[in-house]
Structure 1
Amino acid sequence: MKPPPFTYHAPRDLPAALRTLAEVGGKVLAGGQSLIPMLNMRLAAPGHVVDINRVAGLDGIEVSRAGVTVGALARHADVERAGAHPLLTWALKLVAHPAIRNRGTVVGSLVHADPAAELPAVLAVLGGHVRVARWDCGRVTFREIPAAEFFVGPMESAVGPGELAVSAFFPALEEGSGAAFHEVSRRHGDYALAGACAVVGVAGARVACIGVGGGPVVIDVGGDLSSAAARVRDAVDPDDDIHASAAYRRHLVGVLAERALRDAAREGAAARGA
């Protein structure tokens, strides 16, 4: 398999990358673990590819009391090893295989917006945001897109033409909160048939589900965890496909949500010394 012809660009700083995107558009190459297979299978045929791997300053992992900011070139494996956020670390261990995690990027996964991907669910359940940049009237400008608005549909994010996602912010868990992520896939490393991540705190609980909608499905389950599985099943709208029926996915995600909530509640209780 070979990709369709395209013009390759390799800017060395952020303004140059943004000017290129403003002038020619095209696809951004960071980790390439989603883009390259799509090119080789002719599922994407951009006229231009803008490789940002030489752009300095985009590979940072910044930790503060408020949360973790992950740069556009920070690799899955590096963020996992940093262990800066418990839910993010848990989710990254579920992503594909080590070879993919060594090259793939956290921000790239968010922009790719696969409905079965783990990282969009983490951003959504935490209420994080993605920072994007563009070239506007001779200068670099930025805007922040909250997770609730970022995932527009299957394989579609809110990053506009000429824009580059430069970082993602994952808010820290509140004190005394716990988090967990569970999923089921046909083979280890495959995309999940369904999955659920949960955050449980003193004020209540939230779940984000994958594989059962056009993007991460977030459900606020409040403080009553006993009815959470039923509420999750009622909130999702999976499709039938060659891998599983909609009914099976709906049942499965309820079970996984219940497990994630149980484990998150246990972690929260331990953090509070309860």
Structure 2
Amino acid sequence: MIAENFEYSAPTKLDDALRQLSNEDTKVLAGGMSLIPLMKLRLAAPGQLVDIGRIADLNFIHEEGGTLRIGATTTHYQVENSPLVRSRCPLLAEAASHIGDLQVRNMGTIGGSIAHADPAADYPASLLALEARVALVTAKSKREIPIADFFVDTFTTALEPGEIVHAVVVPVEDQSTGTSYQKVLQPASGFAIVGVAARIRKSGGKIAMARVGVTGLSGKPFRATQVEKALEGAAGSPSEIQKAAALVSDGVDANSDLHASADYRKHLARVYTMRALAIALSRTA
């Protein structure tokens, strides 16, 4: 199928792009890995596309004030292979390596991925476990919000009209922290049927901090706070991990589709939470 007719512009300055977003019928094009397929299926029919892929000010990875700031048009491949991300925030590099295939990772962007808010995407679980923030910008204002507040519902975010993702802001990892991202994928698309990110820090032989992000299980990604609370103060024995992981789907309205029933997704969530926690624990200093 062929997309509806649309106007196209590719500004090289951020200010120019933001000025063009005042029209409600305008969509932002970053890597195009999500929007273009929707347009070809005529599930989306914007009157104008503003391609931000040529704006150099949106493609960057740098460390600043104890955080990594990653520009919106930074590709998955760049995130996966950045020495800075690998050394300072390995969980994010690991999550990026699980996205689609090499072609998708070379074109798709971190900003485009989170703005699309697919409930089966890989980044959200890791960003939730990392307690990341999202830097947003309009022609007149800037703001930062926690990633947990950014994801509102299925394919729905806290982005306001005329606003785009400027950067993802991730706290730099303590070298004593262990992390892991584990998922069971849908073979044709590479999306997560269930994906779990774990982040653990130990102190005095006990788990001092645990963060668990989950994607694919429900209509939007979420922090498994019950699992986190069950682990904090524990030694991290296999039985303690199993008991905590069993809580991951409690109270969750699980998705059910042609790939997996709700009950099977809950089972997978428990299994992959155990795996992610065990691996993260093994990586703690």
User: Where do residues 69-218 of structure 1 align in structure 2 (5 Å cutoff)?
Assistant: 69-83=69-83, 84=85, 85-136=89-140, 141-187=141-187, 190-202=190-202, 203-218=208-223
Going from structure 1 to structure 2, the CA distance change for 1:24 and 1:236 (only over 3 Å counts) comes to: closer
**SS class of match (2:138):** strand
Given that residues 22 and 134 in structure 1 are in contact (C-alpha distance below 8 angstroms), is that contact kept between their aligned partners in structure 2? no
Give CA deviations for 1:52-92 in whole Å, capped at 9, x if unaligned: 12223111111246232110111111111104120011101
Contact 2:24 2:161 in 1 (8 A): no
Tell me if the contact between 2:182 and 2:272 (Cα under 8 Å) persists in the aligned partners. yes
CA-CA distance at 1:239 after TM superposition: 2.1
Residues 128 and 212 in structure 2, CA contact (< 8 A), matched pair in contact too: no
Q: Measure, in 1, the Cα distance between the counterparts of 2:218 and 2:189.
A: 20
Does the CA contact (< 8 Å) of 1:127 and 1:147 recur in 2? yes
Where do 1:7-22 residues align within 5 Å? 7-22=7-22
Give the structure 1 partner of residue 205 of structure 2. none
Aligned length: 265
Cα deviations by residue, 1:215-247 (Å, 9 ceiling, x for unpaired): 112113232451211111214321221111100
| Structure 2: runs of 5+ lacking an equivalent | 203-207
Does the aligned pair in 2 maintain the 1:217–1:236 contact within 8 Å?
Answer: no
Which whole-Å CA distance do the structure 1 matches of 2:258 and 2:78 have between them? 34
Give 5+ residue unaligned stretches, structure 1: none
Q: 2:253 aligns with which of 208, 222, 237?
A: 237
Asked if residue 228 in structure 1 is aligned to residue 228 in structure 2, the reply is no
- Partner residue in 2 for 1:219: 224
SS of the aligned residue for 1:234 comes to coil
Q: What percentage of aligned pairs have identical amino acids? A: 40
Instruction: Specify whether residues 8 and 186 from structure 1 end up closer, same or farther in structure 2 by C-alpha distance, changes over 3 A only.
Output: closer
CA shift for structure 1 position 188 = 6.7
**Residues in 2 aligned to 1:110 and 1:14: alpha-carbon distance in whole angstroms:** 19
- Name the amino acid aligned to 1:205: A
CA contact (8 A) 2:58 2:73 kept: yes
SS at match of 2:56: coil
Instruction: Kindly indicate whether the alpha-carbon contact (under 8 Å) linking 2:177 and 2:199 is maintained by their aligned counterparts in 1.
Output: yes
- The CA RMSD measured in Å over matched residues stands at 1.5
Which residue identity is paired with 1:178?
G
Q: Distance in 2 between matches of 1:29 and 1:234?
A: 37
| Partners of 2:196 and 2:213 within 8 A in 1 | yes
SS of residue paired to 1:232: coil
TM-score, normalized by length of structure 1? Answer: 0.92
* Rounded Cα–Cα distance in structure 1 between residues aligned with 2:186 and 2:12: 41
SS of structure 2 residue aligned to 1:62: strand
Q: How far 1:197 sits from its partner (Å)?
A: 0.6
SS in 2 for 1:132: strand
Structure 2 counterpart of 1:39: 39
**Matched-pair contact (CA < 8 Å) for 2:115–2:157:** yes
Give the CA deviation at 1:24.
5.4
The Cα offsets for residues 77-133 of structure 1, whole Å up to 9 and x where unpaired, read as 111110412001110111000000001101111111111111011111111111111
Report the TM-score when normalising by structure 2.
0.89
8 Å contact from structure 1 (residues 61, 68) kept in 2: yes
1:63 corresponds to 2:68: no
Tell me which moved more, 219-228 or 41-50: 219-228
1:249 aligns with 2:253: no
Write the letter of the residue equivalent to 2:247.
R
Cα distance in 1 for partners of 2:201, 2:252 equals 23
